[in-house]
Structure 1
C-alpha cells in the first residue's frame, strides 16, 4: 500500500495544485502515459499534459482511485478529478522532466523494497528489516507496540535527541513525549505520519501502524537533516509493507511481541524448564521481565472466538499494561506483567474500569494470577490461572464480573484439585463429606423452601459475624439480613462466633456452590438419594 501524499511530498517543490480523493493507493509499480491509456490500472502513476488528462477524465467514468500527475494545468481539471474520485497533482514541469523525476523516485522506492525483502528473506526476522531500514536512513529506527513499549530497535546515529534517549533508558516512549511528537509536528495522511524537528539533532518521524482501523504499533525513525522528507515517508511505508509481508505467513499476523510468543510457547509446552535457561531467554526478549511476574489470560466469551480480531484487543490491552509482554496463544491473549516487588498483590495496579469496559466490548474474560519470582514455576502459575478463568466464568458472584483474581478463587481451585484426588482415592466424587453437616442442612432447607439462608451464613461468617458488613456484601437490607440470620440460627446449633467454625462454613459453602454450579451435579437429587438410603437401611449418608 502506498500513500498519494508521499508522492506529493517527494515532488513538493514542483507541485502547483493537487486533489486527494483516495489517500491510500495500491503499491505503485510503473509510470505510464495517459495517451497510451488502455484501461484502469491502479498500480501505475498516470502522467500527461493537463489537457490530455482532462480529456480522459471527460471520456471515462471508471477512473476512481487512479493517481494522475499533470505537466501543466487545464481549466476545470481539478474539479473533474474530484468528480471522478481520482487523485491529481499538477506540476510546473514539462512532460519528459516530470517522467524522469517520478521514475527516479519510483526506482529508489523499489530499490529500498528489494533491500528490505532481501533482509527479511534471510530468516524472516523483523529485526533484520529494522537493521536494514536504519542503515538506509543513516539514522535509527524504533518499533513500538500500541502501549509505546520498544519491541525492536536498530541504529547507532541520531540517538542524542530526548525521545531517543528516553526509549533507550526506559524501554518505552512516555505518553507525554508521544503527545508532544504527534501534536506539535505537521500531520501526515489521515494523521498517521508526523514529523518533529529536533533542533541540530535532525528529525524524528512517528508513523502510526493500523490494522483494520485499530492502532497496533508505532514506528519512530530518527534521520539526519540532510535526509529528504519524502524519502522518510517512503522508507517508513516500505518498512511497514515488508513487515506486513513477513507476518502474512504467521497464523495471527501480529508482529509486535513475536519474540515473547516464542519463549511463552516453549515455556508452557514444557520445552523450557530450567530456571537459568528461562532467565537467559527472558533476557533476550524486547521487554525483560523484572523479578516478580504475574500472568493475565484473556479469553473470548463465545466458543466462536473473539467478536473482533484478537490483534485489535491485544493492542488495546498493551495500552493498559504498557510494561507487559503480550502474545496471542491458545485461542486467547497472554500478558506477562512484571515488577521489582510484590506491591501489586493481590491486585496489579491498573485501570480496572477501563479493562472491564474493554472486556465487555470484546465479550471476553480475564484471569490474573499471583506473582512469583521463580521462573520455573511460571508454567504452574499459568495453568492455575487457566483454572481460575474457567471457574470464574461459572462461579462469579455477579454477571457483571469479568475480571477474576487468583486470590478470589484460590479455594475453588483447591476444591477442583481435591475432587480429582478424592475420586482417585475413594472411588467416587462425593466431596460433600468434606463439608460441615450444618451447611448441608441449610442447603436442603433452601431447596425445600426457596430461601437463601446458605448465602446469609456465608456472608455472615466471611465478615466475622458483623451484620452490617455482611448485609452490605450480600446486597441486602440490614433488617432483611437480620431476619434471615435469626431463622438460620433457629435451624443450626453451630457456634458461629468460633473462628474455626466460621472458616469451615465458608469453605463448606464454596464446596456446595462448586458442586451445584461448576461440577453440574444435581446435589439435591444426590442428597435425597442418600436420605432414602438411610430410611431404608438405617445407615447414615
Structure 2
C-alpha cells in the first residue's frame, strides 16, 4: 500500500516536531523511502531523507510527485521558496531512526490492507472489516443502507447517549432529514468521493462515502468523530476501506440474488395471476426452503404520500431487517411476505420491528393475518390491501392497520353490495324504526341497548336512565311489534347484525 503525502505528514507529526512543511498535493501517492544521494538525484513518487545542508538548486530539482524529508536540530529553520514538497523535521534523533519510523508506518498500513484483502478473499463479513479498521481510524465506524438502517458497525457504544442516533428513533429521524437536505448528499449527484457532515445536529461530525452496487449508490460508510479528530488522512483511508466493503457487498449480492430473484418471481406470479397454479407455486417455494408447514404474514405499504422513500428503498430496508422475507413493488404498493418460521418470530415481533420505520418515514401499512401454508398467500395479500385501504378510509389518522381490526366493517360492506342494509336486515325491525318516527318512541334505541347489555334488564335500564318498570313496558311493546320473545340465539344474532347493516347504510 502506498502512503499519501498527507498520511505521511499526519503520522510523522505524532512522533516528531515539524518545523516547516510544504505539500503540493495531499493525495500524492508515495512509495517506500530512500536516503538522498546527491549524485543519484530523485525518482518520481518516492520519499527521500537527508540530514545534510542542501544547496538551493537541490530543491529546484525535486520532482513535484516526490517528497523530501530533512532531519535537523535547528527549530528556527524554514523552507526556501519553490515548487516542491518537503517536510522539515526538528528533532534530536538520527535520520536512520526517522527512516525506520517511516518503514514502520508503511508496514502498519500494509498489514491493515493485507487483513482487508484476507477478509474479502476468505468470505469475511462487513463487521470483520470494521473491526480491524477501527484502530486505524480511532473512531466509531458504521455502514448504513440508503434508508439509514444499520448494516454493520463498530464502536457505536462509545458514543454518548445524546449522540446515539441509531438507538434514539427521534434523533435518527432528525439526522436522516438533515443529511438528505445537505448539499453534499443529493443522490442525483451521487459521487464516490468522501463528504463531511457537520456536527450541528448530533454533536459529532461524520466523514461519509457512498458504496456503489451496479453503479448506483446503495450503502454509506461513515466515520463518526468521537474523541479523535478527523484528519485529512482519513479522507484517503476511507476510500481504501470503501473499496473492500464494496467487494464484500457485491459478493453478498451475488450470493443472495439467485434466491431473491426466484422468490420475487414466485411472488410476482402470486400477486399478478389470480389463476396461478398454487400446487406449482408451492413446489417452487419448497425448493427455496419456504415450506408448506411454515407460517406466513403479508404487509402492504403505500408508497404514494408524504414519505420521501421510494419503493425500492423500502424493499431493501425490509430485506435487511427481515432476511427471511421477500418484498416487491406491485402497482403503487410495496408488498412483503414474511416467513415467520424461518425468522423465528411471531407477527407481533414483525409489527414491532417495523413500527418506527413506518411512523418515522410517514408511510401507511396494512397487515394480513398470519396463516400456515402456501394456499392462502394471495388471500393474505388481499387481506393486507383491504386492511390498508379500508383502514385509511375508517381511521385515516392511523399509520398502521390490521385486517383483524377492519374484518367486521369489511363483512358489512361486502354484504350490502347487492342489497342495501334495509333489504337485508330483520324485516320487523323496520316496523320499530317506523314507530319511532311516527310516534316519537325510542324502541330502536331500547332494543339496541338491551342487546348490547346481553339481555340484562337492570343494566339496560340504567344505561337508558329510565325506571326498570318503564324499560319492561317498552320491552313488551318491542316483542309485540317484532312478534318474538327474543330468546332464539340465531334471531338475536340477526338483530345485532341488522343494527350494523343499517348503520353501514347511513355512512
Higher Rg of the two aligned structures: 2
Classify the TM-score, shorter chain: 0.3 to 0.5
